[in-house]
């Protein structure tokens, strides 16, 4: 139940505290059984040859590109408007990200831009990364890549649960990657999954995964502490989304035993309990990141995300939690689609705002957020302020500039320069409206009224 002052954060992922408490008390053999069931459920969902839960989505992208033969000096085509982690994964291999424009309508790769990139003859692989849960058209993109013999990987970190032509997003690429960080469709605290759809790649991927170390139980418990702390921060503070995610982890890693995991989980069973404990000063500090950390994030957006080191195999406790959260996420799709449709209706026919193109007939999105396009870009701050006055945290895409406008990517990437107009338009015009488990139909109505003024 909300307090007297309405505050709905931009993101509020689902955390199953009852499942978390149960898993903390489970024996190792029970966790192993749940972990196997989690992998099998994902493998069946994608129709994949194999799936591998890992400690990082970024690491999973890098591992997948290695399996495709990418190494130092190779060009990899990636969207110009996506999470910097995609570019980081390419750079970690010594490869060169080549930015491809996107459509500001459906946020998928723009075929004309991709054709120009491929015409240079340098591209050795491509990463397709649909965002916001939309289902962009991909037939022309796949044909272009196939004609050039360029293998591809689909990053469905923000598109898990969506389907294209009756098939899950990520199921038609040779390899796919999920992120299971706190701000994704379902969470293991932190982590990712590498999905192998092409059976011919399975032996190489298995060899790479077998060489990875496994996370320890202590690492897993620190991540879960960060998950609970972050969940509190989403309720209590208006931070940029990924700052909230990582700040909880930083607190947990720095404070160590100051946070008892079982106690955090028990006290975190309800929002009211978390607030009551916090009011007594017994849970955690509600401080903002130090100035030095905020300055680093401003100038080096991706570098501000603390590194967890080399990618590892996901620990059993986190994998088992992923299984519990996966069930909730998949069942939540219909509710989200209904709320997105209400937003669509509210802005239909508007000359000031435009709804996203969620997909073609027969496609099924899983809206992780609602990206409203403000036609007059100069009005976006005004729209965000009106929403804040109504009690709703909104803002641009997590990163307010495309990769071609972020240091160091515009220095380290090959770009198509002036042709990246779609990415800049999306970055300048999109406002993310909350669309999470804490949002209902009444919230949609109030947000639509606030946006229209």
Report yes or no on 364 lying in a domain.
yes
- Is the model's pLDDT at 238 over the cut of 60? no
| Predicted TM-score (pTM) of this structure | 0.89
Specify the higher pLDDT residue, 416 or 369: 369
Angle, helices 441-452/380-389, rounded to nearest 10 degrees: 130
Specify the higher pLDDT residue, 335 or 230: 335
Report yes or no on 383 lying in a domain.
yes
Report yes or no on 425 lying in a domain.
yes
Cβ atoms of 379 and 352 within 8 Å: the answer is yes
Q: Locate tokens 């015009």: which residue?
A: 429
Report yes or no on 31 lying in a domain.
no
CA pair distance 169, 166, nearest whole angstrom: 9
Structure token pair of residue 26: 């489970």
> Confidence band (pLDDT; 50, 70, 90) for 179?
very high
241-291 residue pLDDT tens: 445 456 667 666 666 556 678 877 876 545 444 444 444 444 444 444 444
Using a pLDDT cut of 90, give the percent of the chain over it.
Answer: 65
Q: Locate tokens 């000031």: which residue?
A: 352
CA pair distance 366, 378, nearest whole angstrom: 29
Q: Is 82 helix (H, G, I), strand (E, B) or coil?
A: coil
> Confidence band (pLDDT; 50, 70, 90) for 228?
confident
Cβ atoms of 68 and 126 within 8 Å: the answer is no
- Is the model's pLDDT at 52 over the cut of 70? yes
Cβ atoms of 145 and 115 within 8 Å: the answer is no
Report yes or no on 446 lying in a domain.
yes
Cβ atoms of 245 and 227 within 8 Å: the answer is no
CATH of the domain at 342: 3.90.1150.10
Residue 232 half-sphere exposure toward CB, CA atoms < 13 A: 28
> Confidence band (pLDDT; 50, 70, 90) for 235?
low
Angle, helices 111-119/139-148, rounded to nearest 10 degrees: 10
Sign of CA dihedral 63, 414, 110, 371: positive
Q: What value does the mean pLDDT of the chain take? A: 85
139-177 residue pLDDT tens: 999 999 999 999 999 999 999 999 999 999 999 999 999
341-382 residue pLDDT tens: 999 999 999 999 999 999 998 899 999 999 999 999 899 999
Cβ atoms of 184 and 13 within 8 Å: the answer is yes
> Confidence band (pLDDT; 50, 70, 90) for 408?
confident
Report yes or no on 321 lying in a domain.
no
Report yes or no on 386 lying in a domain.
yes
Report yes or no on 361 lying in a domain.
yes
> Confidence band (pLDDT; 50, 70, 90) for 296?
very low
Count of domains observed in the chain: 1
Residue 406 lies in domain: 333-452
What are the backbone dihedrals phi and psi of residue 430, each rounded to the nearest 5 degrees, phi first?
Answer: -80, 135
């Amino acid at each position: 139940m909300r307090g007297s002052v309405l505050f709905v954060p931009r993101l509020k992922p689902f955390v199953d505290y009852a499942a978390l408490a149960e898993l903390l008390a489970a024996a190792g053999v029970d966790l192993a059984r749940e972990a196997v069931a989690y992998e099998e459920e994902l493998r069946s969902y994608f129709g994949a040859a194999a799936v591998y839960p890992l400690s990082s989505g970024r690491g999973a992208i890098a591992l997948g590109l290695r399996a495709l033969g990418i190494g130092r000096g190779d060009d990899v085509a990636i969207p110009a408007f996506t999470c910097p982690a995609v570019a980081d994964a390419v750079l970690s291999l010594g490869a060169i990200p080549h930015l491809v424009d996107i459509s500001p309508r459906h946020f998928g790769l723009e075929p004309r831009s991709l054709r120009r990139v491929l015409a240079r003859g340098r591209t050795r692989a491509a990463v397709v990364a649909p965002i916001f849960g939309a289902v962009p058209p991909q037939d022309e993109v796949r044909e272009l890549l196939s004609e050039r013999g360029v293998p591809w990987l689909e990053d469905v970190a923000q598109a898990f649960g969506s389907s294209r032509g009756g098939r899950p997003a990520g199921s038609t690429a040779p390899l796919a990657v999920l992120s299971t960080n706190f701000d994704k469709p379902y969470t293991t605290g932190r982590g990712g999954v590498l999905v192998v759809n092409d059976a011919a790649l399975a032996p190489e991927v298995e060899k790479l995964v077998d060489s990875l170390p496994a996370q320890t139980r202590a690492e897993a418990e620190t991540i879960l502490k960060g998950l609970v702390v972050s969940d509190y921060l989403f309720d209590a503070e208006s931070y940029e989304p990924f700052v909230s995610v990582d700040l909880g982890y930083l607190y947990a890693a720095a404070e160590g035993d100051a946070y008892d995991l079982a106690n955090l989980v028990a006290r975190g069973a309800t929002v009211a309990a978390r607030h009551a404990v916090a009011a007594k000063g017994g849970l955690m500090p509600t401080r903002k990141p130090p100035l030095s950390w905020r300055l680093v994030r401003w100038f080096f957006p991706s570098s501000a995300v603390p590194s967890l080191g080399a990618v590892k195999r996901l620990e059993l406790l986190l994998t088992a939690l992923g299984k519990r959260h996966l069930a909730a996420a998949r069942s939540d799709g219909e509710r989200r689609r209904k709320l997105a449709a209400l937003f669509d209706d509210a802005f239909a026919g508007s000359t000031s705002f435009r709804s996203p193109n969620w997909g073609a007939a027969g496609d099924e999105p899983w809206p992780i957020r609602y990206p409203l396009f403000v036609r007059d870009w100069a009005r976006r701050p005004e729209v965000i302020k009106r929403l804040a006055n109504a009690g709703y945290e909104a803002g641009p895409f997590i990163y307010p500039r495309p990769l071609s406008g972020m240091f160091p990517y515009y220095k380290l990437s090959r770009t198509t320069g002036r042709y990246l107009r779609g990415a800049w338009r999306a970055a300048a015009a999109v406002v993310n409206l909350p669309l999470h488990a804490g949002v209902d139909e009444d919230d949609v109505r109030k947000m639509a009224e606030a946006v229209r003024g």
